Structure 1
Amino acid sequence: MKALVMTDVKKLEVQDDYPTPTIQPNEVLIHTAWAGICGTDKALYNGLPGSADAVPPIVLGHENSGVVAEVGQDVVGFKVGDRVSVDPNIYCHKCFFCRTSRPELCEHLDAVGVTRDGGFAEYFTAPEEVVYHVPDNVSLEAAAVIEPISCAEHGVDLLDTHPYQKALIIGDGFEGQLIAQILRSRGLQEVTLAGTVDEKLANNEEHFGFKTINNLTHPEEVQADSYDIVVEAVGLPKTQEQAVEAARRGGQVLMFGVGNPSSTFNVNTYKVYQRQLTIQGSFINPYTFEDSVALLQSGDVDPLPLISNVLDFAHVEDFVSGKLGNISKAIVKVAGEEA
């Protein structure tokens, strides 16, 4: 089969004769339709960790949709021809964190497209427990990004949301844009998206009616002590500090952006104390796939207007190496809707 293989750090190679995977009794074989490209893929390409370490040679691609091509003998919930999407994160169910209802912190996390071959190939396998049916009214293209929706959903789940609240999302990357939609679906009275790319901001104003701020040219519009919820979706010390400053008394700050492992930021601990702020981290997507499928099915979240680039295997490296800029979201067409 054809696959895009990371043969070494900063090296991707299209191979036409990569072995088609063999399924285990509890697994399904999936004919890949679409595969999303994530910031985590950029990190893995550059030798940095994602949810776990990726050891070359490996086929990346942890955001996927497709059609079931074969089922193992122990699989009961799926059949050949089913349209599916896959939660890449496979928990051990045995460690301390799994046994205390915090599987996202699993000490033995396995992940499709990170520790085992993923969707940058014509076929990949996954255990039945992480495979989800795609509703008839949801395209396989949209289903390919259920995983990032589920990560955004987990972050919002960690917040205490109410209709009276005003929220600010700092960061106009794909996840920041998704978080804005999910917060709006929770009934908040005002959601503001602050970013740096005018085209992305204008697109969100046009399609979703969000108030937007160009945080590069007009950072003063992000007012201090003004928001009940602030989501930092960039991962830079400057915006992390800005997020804490923007939170009003009793506010919640969600640190969602993935920072450099060696980065730190300054925080005025007296302000955290005096404003009674909550500062919360968010990691991956424990059991939020069903909710994310429902958000797509209902139309409360629509990722398609955010997808800016459709690539083939040969051009993925241009994206993860940084040669392509100002991308809202890039996905790979493998077999497409005809999978």
Structure 2
Amino acid sequence: MATIETKQDVTAPAPAQHKSTPAPLVPGNPTPPPSQAGTEPKISTSADTPDNISPPFSPSSTTPVLEKDDVGLDFAGNVDVNDDLPTEHDLKRVGDLLVLDAKGQSRPFKDLYQGEGVAPRQLIIFVRHFFCGNCQEYLRTLSSSITPESLLALEQPTFITVIGCGRPELIDMYVETTNCSFPVYADPTRKLYDLLGMTRTFDLGKKPGYIHSNLFVTSVQSIMQGIKTGNKALKGGDFKQVGGEFLFEEGKCVWVHRMKNTRDHSEVTEVRRLVGLDGTRPPMRKRWSHSVKKATAEGKEKEGIAGRMRSASWGKVRVRSKSRGAKGVTPPGETKEEEEMKLSGRPTV
């Protein structure tokens, strides 16, 4: 029986292709489901996190910190900090923190404003890194306008102390460069700056009255100072750290100014008004006036003794010459005529 093969058309027409239309948005569900939108859900990774996000200076810091993308070359704007007084809790936290002198010897911070033998009123100035030309200019102007003697002569004796955020081995260089007449300490950890509400910024701000040189000169001087110190060039302190001024009376903080930019120290005229100098001559305290009078009396007495000795010696010479002339004694090698000519003022031949 013959087998008859029949061909069947197995080719089926392809279904019509059409674009899927997303489902209409439903009120209360503004984002369509991934299946309706035709896209896969995006999985966020660490690569999507901006790299300019960084934690504050320390976990306890509540002060604003400028991030690197916020710092422009034009140095525009100020940091938003306040001048609120530190609380008793804040002062307890910082009281036992150590500051270092030029020899590396440490002492608690609270000893600077309530320790034994310190003035009852203490102005503590926090400066930036030890190579900062702006802070150096500030201390030069301050030291030329206010002296330790004028502060201690006030009715309420006052003193000034300076604290920087660099290493203590740079303090001697800093004092010599600034001609600072006040003691300088170091807080390399910057914990005092942080806990007392001071911040960090590169913002330059407007030029204050205490700076007498231009920005280029101070910048070059800062660079040269760093080069001269050799391996200490990187020990000056954090370049972004700014400071401020804190006035203590009888162990309590009564006035605060925190820097908003790198040139925002309190003007020297304001400091003079704050401590009570006000451009007037302060009254001399008894112990100072007594020492001045004593020194003056001693000087006059010494001058009188010296004057009497000179008069006595000159009188002896005159008496000796008169007695010699009265006796008619002629010096050896001279004739009587020559001696008379000398006494009359006539030249001798």
The interval holding the TM-score normalised by the smaller chain is: under 0.3
TM-score calculated relative to the size of structure 2: 0.23
Q: Which has the higher helix share?
A: 2
TM-score calculated relative to the size of structure 1: 0.24
Which structure has the bigger radius of gyration?
2
